[in-house]
Amino acid sequence: MMVPARSRRSRPVTIAGPQNDKQVTDRDLWAEGRKRIAEAALPLFLRYGYHATPVRVIARAAGISSGSVFNYFAGKDELLEHILEESQAAAERSIQAAQSALVESRDAADPVEGFLSVFRRYAEYLDRIHGYVLLAYQEAKSLAPKKRIPLLERERRIAEVLKAAAAPAIEAGLFARGALDLRVHSLIVIAQAWSVRHWAFARYSTAAEYLDDLEPIVVGVMCKEKVTRRKRR
């Protein structure tokens, strides 16, 4: 019996791949594969959105098959979690390094300048990973609530580093003690604004120029001053 030509067309067969630990036994190769996939996914998530970007498109951009993606990540949500976690961890390491350097030279450093050096180090690093910062603002909400917890905890630790950097200026009576959490978190938002609202700062060609003008504002947020509020009726 003749088989219609249409029936003779080969159809793609999808075979589930082995588990991660069996598929990629070399940890360095596994880490490199995750990095390559994450780097391919970032611009796609930014351009099309996390939910509108299929795994097959990410795989094509990374130069691998769709099935191979799942040898490195359990799913697209784990990929997003990895991208946000890695970038935020790098930002935390950067600001911790700046704070450690400040502690080592604290005796010779002006307390306000010392704080600005730590804040600036953090903001400059955010400029280096501005795409990741923007993705966090756009898509962190796409993670399950429990998966957002580590990101929130890391941001709290970053705030603690800034508070520690501000301590000498507070002890010297130059920075305010009150509402310190609010002040520090406000500065984190200001630092991130260069990445998420870059269009509003078109007059600045570099992050350095932006930060030069921002420093007096940062000091103003932290400085000790009396604020008179109108009494409510």
**Residues 157, 215 share a domain:** yes
The answer to whether position 119 is within a domain reads yes
User: Are 61 and 106 in a shared domain?
Assistant: no
Which of 35, 72, 41 has the alpha carbon at shortest distance from 139?
41
Same domain (yes/no): 210, 109:
yes
Is residue 222 within 8 A of residue 176, CB to CB? The reply is: yes
- Do 42 and 142 belong together in one domain? no
pLDDT above 90: residue 20: no
pLDDT (tens digit per residue) in 31-65: 999 999 999 999 999 999 999 999 999 999 999 99
CATH of the domain at 64: 1.10.10.60
Q: Specify the pLDDT at position 138.
A: 92
* Cα→Cα distances 115→4, 100, 137, 149, 187, Å: 76, 12, 26, 27, 12
More confident of the two residues 23 and 83? 83
Average pLDDT over residues 25-32: 85
Task: List pLDDT tens digits, range 118-133.
Answer: 999 999 999 999 999 9
160 in the same domain as 114: yes
Look at 16 and 33; give whichever has higher pLDDT: 33
Per the model's pLDDT, the better-predicted residue between 39 and 107 turns out to be: 39
Question: For residue range 158-199, what is the model confidence (pLDDT) as tens digits?
Answer: 999 999 999 999 999 999 999 999 999 999 999 999 999 988
The answer to whether 83 and 41 have CB atoms below 8 angstroms apart is: yes
pLDDT in tens, 91-100: 888 888 888 8
Q: Which amino acid is at 167?
A: A
149 lies in some domain? yes
- Do residues 41 and 155 both lie within one domain? no
Residues 39 and 117 in one domain: no
Q: Greatest CA separation found in the chain? A: 95
Q: What pLDDT is recorded for position 103?
A: 77
Could you tell me if residue 6 is inside a domain? no
Domain count, the chain: 2
Average pLDDT, the chain: 84
Q: Is residue 5 part of a domain?
A: no
Cα-based distances in Å from 85 to 22, 32, 59, 151, 191: 25, 16, 21, 7, 18
Span 215-219, average pLDDT = 95
* pLDDT of 108 over the 90 cut: no
- Of 27, 42, 69, which one is at a domain's C-terminal end? 69
Task: Give the domain extent around 26.
Answer: 17-69
Higher pLDDT, 47 or 19: 47
Shared domain check, 178 and 131:
yes
* 1 part of a folded domain: no
Beta bridge partners of 223: 175
